[in-house]
Amino acid sequence: MEDESFQPNESGFKQYATSHQQNFEGATPILRTHDLLTIKSIPIKPLFCDTPVAAVDVSSIKIGETETGLLCAIRGAIVWKHDSRYSYLRFGPFPFHITEENKKEIYNLFKHHSFEISEDANAPNLANVPIRMGSLLERWLQLGISCSAHDSVILWDGSLTAGTADSPLNVVSQLLEISRNRLNTILAFSKTTNLRLLGHKLTDLGEKSWPPCLLQINGFPPQSGPVFSLGNVYVAKLTQGICSFRLDIDKEISLERGIEAVQKLLGNDLLIQSYPETLRLAHTFSTFTATEVIGIQHLIAQQYGLRIIARPNIRRLLFGPFGKGSEG
């Protein structure tokens, strides 16, 4: 990376944040649904027993471009609540300079250290590397918390669908199995979902429900092409408010144990707009602000002598005020 120049993307931080952070944090892989879905409302009540609640979240962000590749940074956070007290462990930021030449090496190094997969995997497209690296760090942190926690509720950001590049089936299955073996229950909250029931967005179904409750959605196919659903799908409306979320609970555990885990979450964590505070904090701690992006750029420039060069925005040059959207 030394003596090379890099160029921060002209589209600005907000665009990075939306285009890159959201890609793997909020969205869930699409499962093809059919019309035989059924819905069942399950009222729940808080279970006040001393159960630790832990959450994991990771952010990745593109810092800029160099003549040979791109600069990105990833950061992860684990937040847990135990004995009425929130604690966190934050990893990073870790900046990377990824080129066509080193992307495979970096990607495999990450995979190897995460899940001891020896075979070389195909490295993704350069533009997707930050997201993939973020996913790998997330899986690594999820593995760590699954191995160290016992009889706890573990919150993930996203769903329990597997079979995509970010969520290989064997990796997600392995994580769920480790958790089960240590009596942990994984609850995966998705802020957005593409799943629909009778044409309505799944999360809209919670609007008329009386909280706290779960809406159990039955009838999803366990597999749709290469994509597997490893969890039972619910709509979680846990507090008053306009928000409800898609909640995936490990299929391999009993329905009662899954619901009990949600009740323990209600009894042990603060929930605002149906969203657990532990998971919100994990998101807050991991996400990048514009200042941090500038700080990382400063580090890269200072430590590696990089010179920032502004690359012209071709769209702006060609189309002037009509040249909107990202470059390309």
Contacts with another protein, residue ranges (CB under 8 A): 13, 79, 85-95, 281, 284-285, 289-296, 298-299, 302
| C-beta separation of 273 from 243 below 8 A | yes
Residue 284 CB, shortest distance to another protein, in Å, is 5
By C-beta, is 91 or 164 nearer to another protein?
Answer: 91
Residue 247 CB, shortest distance to another protein, in Å, is 24
Give the other-Cβ count within 10 Å of 205's Cβ.
20
By C-beta, is 252 or 292 nearer to another protein?
Answer: 292
Q: What are the DSSP calls for 126-195, one per residue? A: GGGHHHHHHHHHHHHHHHHHHHH--S-EEEEES--EE-SSSS-HHHHHHHHHHHHHTT-EEEEEES----
| C-beta separation of 244 from 203 below 8 A | yes
3-state DSSP call for residue 112? helix
Residue 87 CB, shortest distance to another protein, in Å, is 5
By C-beta, is 88 or 174 nearer to another protein?
Answer: 88
Residue 77 CB, shortest distance to another protein, in Å, is 9
Residue 286 CB, shortest distance to another protein, in Å, is 11
- Six-digit token pair at 131? 């997201």
Q: Select from 320, 231, 262, 307 the least CA-distant residue to 46.
A: 262
Residue 120 CB, shortest distance to another protein, in Å, is 27
Q: Give the phi and the psi of residue 117 in degrees, each rounded to 5.
A: -85, 120
By C-beta, is 92 or 124 nearer to another protein?
Answer: 92
Q: Select from 234, 284, 269 the least CA-distant residue to 153.
A: 269
By C-beta, is 284 or 326 nearer to another protein?
Answer: 284
By C-beta, is 236 or 300 nearer to another protein?
Answer: 300
By C-beta, is 36 or 310 nearer to another protein?
Answer: 310
Give the other-Cβ count within 10 Å of 225's Cβ.
10
Surface-to-core class of residue 215, CB atoms within 10 Å of its CB (0-12 exposed, 13-18 middle, 19+ buried): buried
Residue 93 CB, shortest distance to another protein, in Å, is 5
| C-beta separation of 56 from 16 below 8 A | no
Residue 95 CB, shortest distance to another protein, in Å, is 7
Residue 104 CB, shortest distance to another protein, in Å, is 23
By C-beta, is 88 or 115 nearer to another protein?
Answer: 88
Token pair 């490893």: residue:
230
* Consecutive H or E run containing 206: none
By C-beta, is 83 or 119 nearer to another protein?
Answer: 83
Please compute, for residue 69, the number of CA atoms within 13 A of its CA located in the half-sphere on the CB side: 19
- Six-digit token pair at 10? 């002209």
